[in-house]
Amino acid sequence: MAQEFRHKRYFEYIGEDSSAVTFTSVDNAKTLISLNNTLFTTGNPVITYELVNNSKGLCVSFEFSTITDQTNFIAANSAAWADRPSMYATQARIYKHEWLHADGSISATTNF
């Protein structure tokens, strides 16, 4: 995979008390958030998952072979979002995107 075509998306799940739920594992986070693994395969990324923020967040890292693969992935996700604003569980929220340089340092961050 090409190190220059990477980005990360950060998710959390909001509980009934309006605070972020603490995940018990990556699988628990993926289940609660209802991640669409089929959608995430567009562009054939290597995907890694990591609990962050004291297990209150799930970081999903995507690494692509080419800029075209990454662009196709973003287009598929954007189209799905436009067709169905609730791509994830109702209580799930994306709270940050990070775009990475080839050396792994952050190129740009968008907080939601």
What's the pLDDT score for residue 69? 92
- Cβ neighbours for 101, distance < 8 A, ≥ 6 positions apart: 4, 107
Q: Whole domain around residue 33: which residue ranges? A: 6-100+107-111
Higher per-residue pLDDT: 83 or 14: 14
What's the pLDDT score for residue 83? 60
Spatial contact of 57 and 93, defined as CB atoms under 8 Å apart: no
Pick from 12, 90, 97, 16: nearest CA to 52: 12
What's the pLDDT score for residue 84? 57
Q: Is residue 51 part of a domain?
A: yes
Verdict on whether the full-model pTM lies above 0.75: yes
Q: Is residue 1 part of a domain?
A: no
| Cα diameter, the chain | 42
Q: Is residue 79 part of a domain?
A: yes
The pLDDT tens digits of the residues spanning 47-98 come to 999 999 999 999 999 999 998 998 998 888 887 766 655 567 788 888 999 9
In total, the chain counts a number of residues equal to 112
Task: Give the whole-angstrom CA distance, residue 1 versus residue 43.
Answer: 12
Domain tally for the chain? 1
Q: Is residue 1 predicted with pLDDT exceeding 60? A: no
What's the pLDDT score for residue 35? 83
The pLDDT tens digits of the residues spanning 15-59 come to 999 999 999 999 999 999 988 677 788 889 999 999 999 999 999
Report the CATH number at residue 33. Answer: 3.30.70
Residue 104: pLDDT band (50, 70, 90) is confident
Supply 106's token pair. Answer: 């952050």
